[in-house]
Amino acid sequence: MNTPHRWGDQYSELGHGPIPIEPYISPNYYQREKEKIFHKEWLCVGRNEEIPNAGDYKAKRIEAADTSVIVIRGKDGNVGAFHNMCAHRGNTVVTETGHETLGNSRAAILTCRFHGWVYGADGSLISVPQEDRFYECFDKSENGLTAIHVGEWEGFIFVNFSESPAQGLEDFLGEYGQHFAGYPFDKMPYQFTYYTELDCNWKIAHDAFAEAYHVDTIHAGSFPNVFSNGLERVKLMGPHRTSAVHLSMNGKPTPIAGLANELATGSLVAQRGESMLPPTINPDRAQDFSFELSVLFPNTLIHVSEGIWFTHQFWPLAYDRTLWEGRYYVAEPETNAQRWALEHAMTLQRNAWLEDTATMEDTHRAMKSGAKQHQNLQDDEILIRHGAVVVDQYVNA
- Give the footprint of Fe ion on this chain (CB under 5 A): 356
Report the run of H or E that residue 19 belongs to, with start and end.
strand 19-20
Residue 146 is given by DSSP the state P
CA quadruple 249, 250, 251, 254: dihedral sign? positive
Q: Is 143 in the site for ligand FES (CB under 6 A)?
A: no
Site for ligand FES in 144-203 (CB under 6 A): none
Nearer to Fe ion, 356 or 380 (CB): 356
Task: Name which of ligand FES, Fe ion, none residue 88 binds, using a CB cut-off of 5 to 8 Å depending on partner kind.
Answer: ligand FES
Q: Is 124 in the site for ligand FES (CB under 6 A)?
A: no
Nearer to ligand FES, 105 or 359 (CB): 105
Beta bridge partners of 304: 292, 309
Residue from 69, 110, 112, 382 touching ligand FES (CB under 6 A): that is 112
CA atoms of 329 and 307, how far apart (whole Å)? 9
Nearer to ligand FES, 115 or 372 (CB): 115
Nearer to ligand FES, 115 or 374 (CB): 115
Nearer to ligand FES, 11 or 114 (CB): 114
CA atoms of 363 and 205, how far apart (whole Å)? 10
Buried b (16+ CB within 10 A) or exposed e, 260-296: bbebbbbbbbbbeeeebbbebbbeeeeeebbbbbbbb
Instruction: Report in angstroms how near the CB of residue 134 gets to ligand FES at its nearest.
Output: 12
Instruction: Report in angstroms how near the CB of residue 151 gets to ligand FES at its nearest.
Output: 28
| Closest alpha carbon to 146 in 201, 93, 76 | 93
CB 51 within 8 A of CB 58: yes
CA atoms of 222 and 350, how far apart (whole Å)? 9
Task: Name which of Fe ion, ligand FES, none residue 356 binds, using a CB cut-off of 5 to 8 Å depending on partner kind.
Answer: Fe ion
Instruction: Report in angstroms how near the CB of residue 92 gets to ligand FES at its nearest.
Output: 9
Site for ligand FES in 65-104 (CB under 6 A): 86, 88-89, 91
Give the list of residues 6+ apart from residue 73 with CB closer than 8 angstroms, or none.
51, 52, 53, 54, 55, 56, 57, 79, 108, 121
> How many residues of this chain bind ligand FES (CB under 6 A)?
9
CA atoms of 378 and 384, how far apart (whole Å)? 10
Specify the stretch interacting with ligand FES by CB under 6 A; choose among 12-20, 108-116, 166-174, 380-388.
Answer: 108-116
Residue from 75, 115, 187, 285 touching ligand FES (CB under 6 A): that is 115
Binding site for ligand FES (CB under 6 A): 86, 88-89, 91, 112, 114-117
